[in-house]
Amino acid sequence: MPNSPLTPGIVPARLSRDAIARNFSDHEPPFDQHEARVAADRCYFCHDAPCMTACPTEIDIPLFIRQIATGTPEAAAKTIWSQNILGGICARVCPTETLCEEVCVRETAEGKPVEIGRLQRYATDIAMEKGHPFTRAPATGKRVAVVGAGPAGLACAHRLAMKGHEVTVYERRAKAGGLNEYGIASYKATGGFAAREVEWLLSIGGISLQLGAALGRDITLDQLRADYDAVFLGIGLQGVNALRAEGEDKQGVANAVDFIAELRQSPDLMGLAVGRDVVVVGGGMTAVDAAVQAKLLGAENVTIVYRRGQEKMSASTHEQEHAVQAGVRIIHNAAPLRVLGNGRIEGVEFAYTQDGPDGLVLLPETFQLKADQLFKAIGQTLTGAPEAAEQKGGKISGLPAKVWAGGDCAAGGEDLTVTAVAEGRDAAEAIHGQLAAQ
């Protein structure tokens, strides 16, 4: 008998091949030309537009939307990319409901913002097909090392290459893209989009990619500083917080980020095993992405348990609604006490919590959830940062001369793809400024 959502344990192929394909197709299909024109027509072309201010990369949103409205999506894409070279993936994964679209005056006026994210995708999708729109400045003879081929590193590398510098990007994993490639829900970037975007970005030239090169193992900061005119660190947050609950080492307990990465890299989702009763502990986008995808793979029961109230969840309301719509149950104000089971997880015991002026208090009332799989999604941590980097609050806060940092590993800004792009780009401008002054 084939597996179904009711099959106990962690097993593959709980749903039919068709159902899996349907579940993991583009969850927000692209606009066609007519839809894009109608959506673009709604933009008021605001003065000093609030959307632009809310965008960490400060894309000139009213301008690119007007360019779409007037039938020039390629010009629109160039407006986007001149600020955010990863505008394609950002159009798909940005929590626009808490950024540009949240402050759209149409949201104020009628509760329905201009669909900026989808318009951005429309323009960048069309223009990406036409090749790479930027060219490099004359060669400067300067060489820069970029550590980490995630959004920050790629944005930095591209801007430096544009300015005429030679860039080498070191990446510890087998593929470039960072969280775009390994860390976001599959249905947000279908069709290998992250990899295509990297290839398109690199086609500007002047960037060489060294895959499988980890900082501290294959390369050191000291050596890079000696070999290059400048170094940019975009190493992200590679560690995962522990549950700090009894029995965390039982079989069936895994990191949500690893599950998401495995799913993203899986050549055939029919081969990917998932539990019948899945519990995800955490309250951010990673928790939502893991939970929704577990459900889409055919888990019968998927529950997100978050230790604080709904309003404290870092996943946006939009993301939470998306999870609930997918059939995920969200329990607030409960913290894990112990993982139950004999060697293999069978359930999780939680205590209810109360968030008060003295912090989070565990209440005596407890409950148990049946579980054959548990994903930890309670935040990532900075690991593998070079000794020379000063740290504050778990982020890189100070660096020696010739070294810059950006993205999730660096202090300042939210841990978002778009913020990483902005920081990478700005670091490149700073590096260029310094190299040009030499």
Partner 1 sequence: MADLTSNFIGIKSPNPFWLASAPPTDKKYNVERAYEAGWGGVVWKTLGAEGPPIVNVSGPRYGAIFGADRRLLGLNNIELITDRPLEINLREIKEVKRKWRDRALVISLMVPCEEEHWKAILSQIEDTEADGVELNFGCPHGMAERGMGSAVGQVPEYIEMVTRWVKQYSRMPCIVKLTPNITSILPPAMAAHRGGADAVSLINTIKSITNVDLDNFSPFPMIDGQGSHGGYCGPAVKPIALNMVGEIARFPETRGMPISGIGGVTTWRDAAEFLAMGAGNVQVCTAAMTYGFKVVQEMISGLSAYLDEKEMTLDQLVGRAVPNFVEWQNLNLNYVTKAHINQDDCIKCGRCYAACEDTSHQAIAMGPGRVFTVKDEECVACNLCVNVCPVEDCITMVPMAKGTLDPRTGRNVGDYADWTTHPNNPMSSAAAE
Which residues are near partner 1 by CB under 8 A?
Answer: 37-38, 41-42, 44-50, 105-106, 108-109
Least Cβ distance, residue 39 to partner 1 (angstroms): 10
Q: Looking up tokens 């307990």, which residue turns up?
A: 253
d(CA 377, CA 241): 8
Least Cβ distance, residue 113 to partner 1 (angstroms): 11
Q: What pairs with residue 88 in β-bridges?
A: none
Nearest to 106 by CA among 190, 196, 40, 166: 40
Nearest to 88 by CA among 167, 173, 199: 199
CB 47 within 8 A of CB 61: no
**C-beta of 48 vs 358, nearer to partner 1:** 48
Least Cβ distance, residue 126 to partner 1 (angstroms): 19
Nearest to 422 by CA among 59, 49, 175: 59
d(CA 288, CA 303): 10
**C-beta of 110 vs 129, nearer to partner 1:** 110
Token pair recorded at residue 182: 């390994």
Chain-centre distance for alpha carbon 322: 16
**C-beta of 73 vs 183, nearer to partner 1:** 73
CB 352 within 8 A of CB 334: yes
Least Cβ distance, residue 29 to partner 1 (angstroms): 20
**C-beta of 45 vs 367, nearer to partner 1:** 45
Least Cβ distance, residue 66 to partner 1 (angstroms): 12
> Which amino acid, one-letter code, is at 140?
T
d(CA 257, CA 287): 9
**C-beta of 113 vs 252, nearer to partner 1:** 113
Residues in the chain: 438
d(CA 384, CA 115): 39
**C-beta of 46 vs 411, nearer to partner 1:** 46
CB 11 within 8 A of CB 273: yes
Nearest to 423 by CA among 435, 436, 407: 407
Token pair recorded at residue 253: 């307990």
Convert 237-263 to b/e letters by CB count within 10 Å (16 or more is b): bbebeebebebeebebbbbbbebbbeb
CB 378 within 8 A of CB 222: no
**C-beta of 33 vs 223, nearer to partner 1:** 33
CB 128 within 8 A of CB 197: yes
**C-beta of 108 vs 208, nearer to partner 1:** 108
d(CA 45, CA 63): 7
What's phi and psi for 287, nearest 5 deg?
-60, -45
**C-beta of 53 vs 381, nearer to partner 1:** 53
Least Cβ distance, residue 48 to partner 1 (angstroms): 6
**C-beta of 88 vs 113, nearer to partner 1:** 113
Least Cβ distance, residue 413 to partner 1 (angstroms): 23
Least Cβ distance, residue 71 to partner 1 (angstroms): 10
**C-beta of 65 vs 335, nearer to partner 1:** 65
CB 261 within 8 A of CB 433: no
Least Cβ distance, residue 97 to partner 1 (angstroms): 18
> Which amino acid, one-letter code, is at 171?
E
Least Cβ distance, residue 416 to partner 1 (angstroms): 24
Least Cβ distance, residue 116 to partner 1 (angstroms): 15
